[in-house]
Structure 1
Amino acid sequence: MNKATQLASSVVFLISCHSLHAYAGQENQFNIEIPTLSGSIKVDGNFDEPQWKNAATTEITIETSPGENITAPVRTEVKLYSTDTSLFLAFTAYDPTPSQIRANLSDRDSVWGDDLVGIKLDTFNDARLAYQFFVNAYGVQMDSIENELTGSESDAWDGIWYTAAQRTETGYQVEIELPYRVLNFDNSAEQKWGVELVRFYPRNEQHRLSSNQIDRNNSCQLCQFGVMSGMSNLEQGNDLQITPSVVFNRNSQRPLALDSDWDSENDIEPSLDIRWGITPSTLLSATINPDFSQVEADAGQLDINNTFALFYPEKRAFFLDNKDYFDTQLNLLHTRNILSPDYGIKLTSKVGDHTFATLATNDTHTNFLVPGNLSSDIASIDEKSQNFAGRYRYDIGKELSMGALVTAKTSDDYHNYVTSVDVKYQPTEQDTFIGQYVISDTQYPLGFSQTLCSSDDCLPDIDCDLSDCGINERVLRTNSTDSIRGDMYLAKYEHETRNWNAIAQYQSVAEDFRADLGFIEKVDFSKFVAGGGYTWYPENSGFSKIRLSGDWDISHNQAGEKLEQEAEAKLAFDGLLQSYTAFGVVNRQRVGRRHDSANLAVENNTQMFDETMGWFYANMKPTRTLFVELDVNYGDSIDFANDQLGTKFLLNPGVRWNVTDSVKLNVSHVYRTMDVDDGRLFTANLSDVRLSWYIDIHNFIRVSSVYTHIERDPSLYLFGSPNKEQQNLGNEILYGYKLNPQSVFYLGYSDGLKSNDSIDSLMKTEETYFMKMSYAWIL
């Protein structure tokens, strides 16, 4: 019996043993009936309309953290009512010392740490996904999706909803309108939604206040929601959103060389996005000539002595809408692999216990990750590609979920097809079983592997920081002209109680497995992990939570050769001043670079190094205006460029200072060194500075700079001669006006400067002027 048949048989057995449950939310936790009223109101932060007199009224009375289901330290009154098109909420947050309220004008989704009020909604009441809507005392919005299946939470999704807030003599108050068109729900059934009303009250500690109790002995958070009912005759209107946009862009580039000429290009790109809620549970999104440019630069990352590709999160709106419908335990769909499509279409739907999602785009580029077991890198084919993803999930009550995912990326003489089945089963509140099996079929173009070489004979590049930049894994793993096939599977068990937790996981990935629309950076390995820990919740102490944990893992390639073995112990504390402190020690055995980089073998082709490293991390918010953090690493680390053991030191401080309620300064710095027997191999610095001025809730100006400076001692590099010094500086100034996430105006300038041994001072090599305008017409 093959693995796929075994997994399918297990799923059938689980279904046969399973009893169905109608709803996940529990009325005995919290129960509120919402009246349906007529007439519109003005969302202005004042509760003077007559509808509020007839609204349902409740209070947030329970502190769930750091106190464990104790009486809330402050009073919060909430009023709710529904119309046929929107849910309205009015929060009155009382505060004994209103001057201590923490609130800032800021960008959307960036006010964690402020005083907040909000609501969490499980509109299908099945403990799978929950919408989260929060607002601070200035009316700044935060929205996100909590995914119980993957255990993740993403604030990348942005809905169009309406808020207003006011400070008062007794605290602050917030008025919210949530149009039903931003929510997915089943309008054919009785509306009984899972709900939790939440207030964050940050003072010496971060108090989380709730409408219902949270049982720390239950690992499922969404299963502990209360129930909201009474909404009737809900409509989404036409639920049609049309967003035209235009981007004006002038980009100039030149090589890093003396007397090099600029190559400039002016570009005007109109585009059109359409979002149509066919039914309250079915959404169709389409885009023509989309603007997939990112206005704001990614956070800086230091890429040195690193053999695997860096990960950057998705930020583009078309891909983020209902993104969670595609999620599995493994990252098989990472849409930043789709660079510049001419069109895109996406359909997502939930009907009863069945969830469907499809995505199709073309791409003017064909980019994908070439993975290995010791390194990975991005590769590109100079052809257009077609991209497709489809997902189906079947939920049986709140305990059992199973699904399938297929992806395809194709061009003229290249393809990558991936098929996956997955299951998650929670037989008790403390136990979770997860399984996933994936197969792939891939074909690379004729001669593609040679395009990855740095020279005609594929010899190593002497200017490369790592030793195997020429003949390396990505060449060897793409040199087949025949179709290659491989599989990947994951089996995981978690046990979590109030104090104890344990985890065991086994993952295996074949050497020819590829997921080119995902982010699977490692293949040709198997890994077993076991770990656990104990958590204390002290009372009347300077610490609200103490956790001792550890794990052990071992990895081999598919030939059974050992790649890595690691043991780690960790101690963490949550305490006063909203502080978190953790430190740990790691002992790891792992292989270095291949001696013969034309051979993928590990035994007799690598050496095993023994690393011991200690680390420390802490953050705190000592005042209402200041957040500080520090990350420190020190100990043994492999010098991959020279296949030797060195000593690594990393110092990574960060500061977020709210200079005023409307001016924010974010500064982070990474200082990293590597010492070897004969001296200092390299010193690397990365500084990321961002200054923002929020003129009001809609207008802002932001200035940012990311500077990287790397110094090396070329005499200590045994296999190459890299630059002794290199610098990179990226700057951006941006004015933005956001009426809502899709109705925006941006005007900005950015540039890039570089230097190396040939050009020893920073030279501007890139310059961009841009303007973007878009407006969401809601019909």
Structure 2
Amino acid sequence: MIKVRFLPLALLVSAYCSSYAFAGETSQFSIQIPTIEGAVDIDGDFNESQWQQAAIATIDFETNPGENIAAPVQTQVKIFATQSSLFLSYTANDPDPQQIRANLSDRDSVWGDDLVGIKLDTFNDARLAYQFFVNAYGVQMDSIENELTGSESDAWDGIWYSAAKQTESGYQVEIELPLRVLNFDPKDRQTWGIEFIRFYPRNEEHRLSSHQIDRNNNCQLCQLGVATGLENIQQGNDLQITPSLVLNRNGQRPHNANSEWDNDNNIEPSLDVRWGITPNTLLSATINPDFSQVEADAGQLDINSTFALFYPEKRAFFLDNKDYFDTHLNLLHTRNIGAPDYGLKLTSKVGDHTFATLITDDTHTNFLVPGNLSSDLANIDKKSHNFAGRYRLDLGKPLSIGALVTAKKSDDYHNYVTSVDAKYQPTDSDTFIAQYVVSDTQYPTDLFKEFCNSDDCLPKQNCNLNDCGVNERVLRTQKLGSFSDDMYLLSYQYESRNWDALAQYISIGEDFRADLGFVDQVDFNKFVTGAGYTWYPTSGFFNEVRLSGDWDISHNQAGDKLEQEAEARVQVNGQWQSYATFGVVTRDRVGRRHNGASLAIDGNTQMFSETMGWFYGNIKPTRTLFLEVDVNYGDDIDFANDQLGTRVKFNPGVNWKITDSIEMDLSHVYRTLDVDEGRLFTANLSDLRLSWYIDIHNFIRVSSVYTDIERDTSLYKYSTPNAQYQQLGNEVLYGYKLNPQSVFYLGYSDGLKADDAIDSLMKTEETYFMKLSYAWLL
């Protein structure tokens, strides 16, 4: 029987006693948006008669780094609606237009540029807000701010229109937001939360707003102004049909001398349909979807790490209204769905109620096998069926409660997860969070063999690190029949202008699994508490200084200590758009298990004491140059040999706008680990990307990710890794983007490897590909 250890929702519901109220307040800012006949041409000029009838607002306040002081530059906004679109124009004056920071760039890659934009909470309930920004070249950026999780995601892409024009007095921007990209209540007269925003980066990055923002209120979406009017607006025929065609030729060969290539030609047609059934209900469907990822992930160095790497979702079908599924815990990570034949998603918001449903299959079954000291990916070569359903009830500003169900099922395998969650904000500064989750899982009886270290995969009693045939992943998957367990989270946060504090407890049972999510650690519980103080100097180099610290302790479910940590941090923001944070951490934590046939901690591991210092900083000294560096130095466990070593990490990066249309991104990771007998390894990873933006729609990108690892194999006690390992991935890509869904890509990529057997880089894979898609808006 599963033990229920959860703060009853009834306590939170009983605490809620106020009636529903709008989130945006007219006392902050208000504007009445007229509905006018006739659209305008989006060309950056404001010469149509409709602009004379538009509502007018000004962006008068600097909210950061200045605290609600007068804006240093003048910005005028005009706004009106037609029955099917929202139109905006910005006149952004600048005393020195030569200093405007803007470049041709990829969509959603213009942070740090001169920008103007708008934030819209179309339900005015402080839960989700759309953000649309445009730089002085007309490059778009959009995102969704999620108050529940406190996150902001730019992965979502809407189809909207913009144009910009630089003038002798600054620049001006014209925007059309088709109402089809927004969710809102279908009623004759609207009340939306709204904020007009301008980013003005010079020596400091000034955030300018149409109204003041109170730093004593930790809810940003509760501080929007109010837009009324918008009479008789409607989405119209909100139907988008996007056929796609992907052609690729993929060649692979084993990393052996004189090996033969195995070439495979593929032609994959697909169809996506996006239908706004009503302005607040969206149905998305896909048949044989194109889930090819055109651009390579950023390089990650996987060395001396025991947990699986995390890669973000980038695929459009999963990203549309993704926030409707979010909870405080990552229980739905759709990158676990690799290659489905179909997908169906329905999302809706009706009054205080939010619904979301996702159904797909997958040609394979991929999921994470978690533990308390390590995790790894598992694959079952069988088709799986996947489901996720989410419901959320928003009871005014203070209280949200919700439920999430996920299911992943294949032959001889299933994982079912049920979750309930609540967020309660009784004051502007206090937030309580609670979530309880249960799971029921069954693995195939031979799944554990995927992780065996020997042919027989038989547990050897009292084996040492050198001859164990099993490991934690084997023991976590050696299950007969179905098994169940639970997970829960309790959290309290306090945030005011100067002070903040956190107390949080999370517990995850040893048999808990969330195979559609990204929960990479189980059989542990953790308590963390911390506090910080922030002040805002009005003179000198720094405009924000923060001191903070926290303490945490973790155990397995048997009560054995896994880790105890204390950390102190300093964070500063200053001139030259600079940011820096540095700190010291001390911790005690266990190494690897001595007897791989047992999951025990006490008597089966060694506790190590570590002290490490770290620093991260970035700066933008000119309009063309952005520099950053990440440095670690101190103690680190050598997990391969279960001993303490000294870690050095140096990770510089540079973004150089060579011209307004040519950009170079270069980052490098240098890591070493020294033990008593010498240097165990030296690892280098370089990630270089050169981009030429021919215009706002066309670009060419060349990228290379190179990994080089050198090991002293004589220092490895329990294994014999390659003394040298190299990997090189290259990509050449031409892209044309009419909008996020109407694209043409043509490219080539390859992969090369070298190790002790073949000590020069040998090409083991290459791909030629083309992708064509077009979004028909009906």
Q: Shorter-chain TM-score: what band?
A: over 0.9
Distance 1:497 1:8 in 2: 26
Structure 2 letter corresponding to 1:670: V
How far did 1:504 drift? Answer: 0.1
How far did 1:457 drift? Answer: 1.9
Structure 2 letter corresponding to 1:358: T
**How much identity, in percent, do the aligned residues show?**
73
Runs of 4+ aligned structure 1 residues displaced above 4 Å come to 466-470
Q: Does 1:554 align with 2:550?
A: no
How far did 1:452 drift? Answer: 2.4
Aligned to 2:523: 524
Structure 1, unmatched stretches of 5+, are 461-465
Aligned to 2:85: 86
Query: What does 1:576-587 align with in structure 2 at a 5 Å threshold?
Result: 576-587=575-586
Does structure 1 conserve the Cα–Cα contact (< 8 Å) formed by 2:378 and 2:450? no
Give the SS at the match of 2:618.
strand
Does structure 2 conserve the Cα–Cα contact (< 8 Å) formed by 1:119 and 1:197? yes
Deviations 1:372-404, CA, capped at 9 Å, x for gaps: 000000001111000000000000001100000
Q: Does 1:745 align with 2:744?
A: yes
Aligned to 1:248: 247
Aligned to 2:9: 8
Deviations 1:524-543, CA, capped at 9 Å, x for gaps: 00000000100010111210
Structure 2 letter corresponding to 1:122: D
Structure 2 letter corresponding to 1:10: L
Structure 2 letter corresponding to 1:677: D
How far did 1:468 drift? Answer: 9.7
Q: Does 1:472 align with 2:477?
A: no
Structure 1 letter corresponding to 2:322: K
Give the SS at the match of 2:317.
helix
Query: What does 1:417-428 align with in structure 2 at a 5 Å threshold?
Result: 417-428=416-427
Aligned to 1:595: 594
Structure 2 letter corresponding to 1:238: N
Distance 1:58 1:6, change over 3 A: closer
Aligned to 2:391: 392
Aligned to 1:539: 538
Aligned to 2:718: 719
How far did 1:12 drift? Answer: 3.6
Aligned to 1:622: 621
How far did 1:6 drift? Answer: 4.6
Distance 1:439 1:234 in 2: 43
How far did 1:454 drift? Answer: 3.8
Does structure 1 conserve the Cα–Cα contact (< 8 Å) formed by 2:451 and 2:471? no
Distance 1:222 1:283 in 2: 23
How far did 1:474 drift? Answer: 1.0
Structure 2 letter corresponding to 1:619: N
Give the SS at the match of 2:540.
coil
Aligned to 2:30: 31
Aligned to 2:235: 236
Query: What does 1:235-384 align with in structure 2 at a 5 Å threshold?
Result: 235-384=234-383
Distance 1:18 1:143 in 2: 36
Aligned to 2:705: 706
Deviations 1:169-216, CA, capped at 9 Å, x for gaps: 000000000000000000136301000100000000000000011100
How far did 1:219 drift? Answer: 0.3
Does structure 1 conserve the Cα–Cα contact (< 8 Å) formed by 2:548 and 2:570? yes
Structure 2 letter corresponding to 1:538: P
Q: Does 1:104 align with 2:103?
A: yes
Deviations 1:379-435, CA, capped at 9 Å, x for gaps: 011110000000000000011000000000000110000000000000000000000
Q: Does 1:75 align with 2:66?
A: no
Distance 1:716 1:5 in 2: 48
Give the SS at the match of 1:3.
coil
Distance 1:183 1:617 in 2: 38
Give the SS at the match of 1:477.
helix
How far did 1:4 drift? Answer: 6.4
Structure 2, unmatched stretches of 5+, are 460-464
Does structure 1 conserve the Cα–Cα contact (< 8 Å) formed by 2:434 and 2:490? yes
Query: What does 1:73-222 align with in structure 2 at a 5 Å threshold?
Result: 73-188=72-187, 190-222=189-221
Structure 1 letter corresponding to 2:713: P
Aligned to 2:462: none
Distance 2:707 2:161 in 1: 40
Distance 1:72 1:468, change over 3 A: farther
Distance 1:569 1:454 in 2: 40
Distance 1:21 1:390 in 2: 26
Aligned to 2:674: 675
Does structure 2 conserve the Cα–Cα contact (< 8 Å) formed by 1:467 and 1:641? no
Distance 1:280 1:677, change over 3 A: same
Does structure 2 conserve the Cα–Cα contact (< 8 Å) formed by 1:167 and 1:173? yes
Deviations 1:214-237, CA, capped at 9 Å, x for gaps: 100000000000001110111111
Does structure 1 conserve the Cα–Cα contact (< 8 Å) formed by 2:468 and 2:595? no
Does structure 1 conserve the Cα–Cα contact (< 8 Å) formed by 2:24 and 2:194? yes
Give the SS at the match of 2:630.
strand
How far did 1:473 drift? Answer: 1.1
Distance 1:585 1:322 in 2: 39
Distance 1:746 1:45 in 2: 28
Deviations 1:81-132, CA, capped at 9 Å, x for gaps: 0000000000000000000000000000000000000000000000000000
Give the SS at the match of 2:477.
coil
Give the SS at the match of 1:487.
strand
Give the SS at the match of 1:324.
helix
Deviations 1:16-61, CA, capped at 9 Å, x for gaps: x421223100101000001110012110000000000110011000
- Which range is displaced more, 615-624 or 469-478? 469-478
Distance 1:267 1:468, change over 3 A: farther
How far did 1:620 drift? Answer: 0.3
Distance 1:267 1:10 in 2: 57
Aligned to 1:644: 643
Does structure 2 conserve the Cα–Cα contact (< 8 Å) formed by 1:468 and 1:597? no
Structure 1 letter corresponding to 2:502: I
Distance 1:442 1:473 in 2: 18
- Which range is displaced more, 312-321 or 22-31? 22-31
Give the SS at the match of 1:305.
coil
Deviations 1:285-306, CA, capped at 9 Å, x for gaps: 0000000010000000000000
Does structure 2 conserve the Cα–Cα contact (< 8 Å) formed by 1:467 and 1:642? no
Distance 2:251 2:400 in 1: 51
Distance 1:532 1:772 in 2: 50
Structure 2 letter corresponding to 1:618: G
Does structure 1 conserve the Cα–Cα contact (< 8 Å) formed by 2:441 and 2:513? yes
In the comparison of the two structures, how many residue pairs are matched? 772
Distance 1:582 1:467, change over 3 A: farther
Aligned to 1:696: 695
Give the SS at the match of 2:98.
helix
Distance 1:6 1:710 in 2: 49
Structure 2 letter corresponding to 1:488: M
